[in-house]
Amino acid sequence: MSYRQSPLATRGGQGRRSRRPATGPVVAVGVVLVAIAVGLYLWQPWASSSSGNPGANGGSSSSGLKSKVDAAAQAFAKAWSDRDFSGVSFVGGLTADDVKSEFDTITKNLKATAVSVSADAAQPLGGNDNADRSPLHVTWTLPGGAQWKYDTAVELDKVDANWLVNWVPSVVSPGLDPGDTLRYTKVQPKRASILDGAGQPLIVDRPVVDVGVQPSKAVDPTAGGRLLAAAFKEPAARADYPSGSAGTRATLSGAEE
């Protein structure tokens, strides 16, 4: 009878030797996966912070620069609303006092009781990264509570990483040149016609001419009235001579225009 030797037995009759699974590579892979998970956990807050703050940690700074020019435009709008330019920087060495003096000269005859100005987001001027233009919306409160609303704009120049306001009179109102001013004037409206029930005019606005006549030199007042009517191309004239008066008044009236 023959016996097959077990593949688990060693030669020399030393009995059976068990085989253990290899654990080294599995443990190494597990350590790597844990390290990746920890890295992702730590990286996520940093990535969120960076994405919310462009320009930080070496990111793009274009949004930061845009915020600066918009902040400068909004600061100018607030300064105009407060009529105090002390916190604004201007191009060309102009001081806040220089601008305030010219601004007051331009606007003092408006007799405004208040002004409100807001600024929109600035846009590059002619493709120039160092010059932007911000639209402004202006509301003046005039005597009697009347409001004057209009749009204008202010240009800003980038100088040494700072955005400065380019002050000119036309910023206050488009079309203003140096030396021009604004003035509030109350204009009475034209009197309307008075109509009857059929819509026909009862009283209309028409010119009336008063002509003074010296009685001592008027030989024939009636004839004089006719001459005046002819001179003014009116069909009729009336001459009134109050008793004891030194003069008279001839009122010329004609057909309705």
Provide the pLDDT for residue 40: 52
Q: Cα separation of 41 and 76, whole Å? A: 44
Helix (H) or strand (E) holding 72: helix 62-82
Name beta bridge partners: 201. 195
From start to end of the chain, where are the E strands?
A: 114-119, 123-125, 128-141, 147-159, 162-166, 194-195, 201-203, 209-213, 236-240, 248-253
Structure tokens at 151: 């749009």
Provide the pLDDT for residue 214: 76
Amino acid at 242: P
Per-residue pLDDT of the chain (257 residues; tens, 9 = 90+): 443 443 334 344 444 444 444 455 544 444 445 455 545 554 454 444 444 443 333 333 445 556 899 999 999 999 999 999 999 999 999 999 999 999 999 999 999 999 999 999 999 988 888 999 999 999 999 999 999 999 999 999 999 989 999 999 999 999 999 999 999 998 888 878 888 999 998 887 777 777 777 777 778 877 877 777 777 765 555 545 444 444 445 554 443 43
Q: Cα separation of 59 and 61, whole Å? A: 6
Provide the pLDDT for residue 238: 53
Residue 44 three-state SS: helix
DSSP result, 113-126: SEEEEEEPPPEEET
Provide the pLDDT for residue 137: 98
Nearest to 119 by CA among 159, 152, 164: 152
Is residue 131 within 8 Å of residue 158, measured between CB atoms?
yes
CATH number for 62-171: choose from 3.30.465.10, 3.10.450.50, 3.30.70.330, 1.10.10.60: 3.10.450.50
Provide the pLDDT for residue 122: 94
Provide the pLDDT for residue 36: 54
Structure tokens at 24: 């080294």
- Report yes or no on whether pTM surpasses 0.85: no
List all residues 6 or more positions away from 166 whose beta carbon is below 8 Å from its beta carbon. Answer: 90, 91, 92, 154, 155, 156, 157
Question: Where exactly are the structural domains of the chain?
Answer: 62-171, 194-253
Structure tokens at 210: 């008063």
Is residue 138 within 8 Å of residue 211, measured between CB atoms?
no
Provide the pLDDT for residue 191: 79
Nearest to 157 by CA among 113, 181, 190, 122: 122
Is residue 123 within 8 Å of residue 198, measured between CB atoms?
no
List all residues 6 or more positions away from 170 whose beta carbon is below 8 Å from its beta carbon. Answer: 152, 176, 177
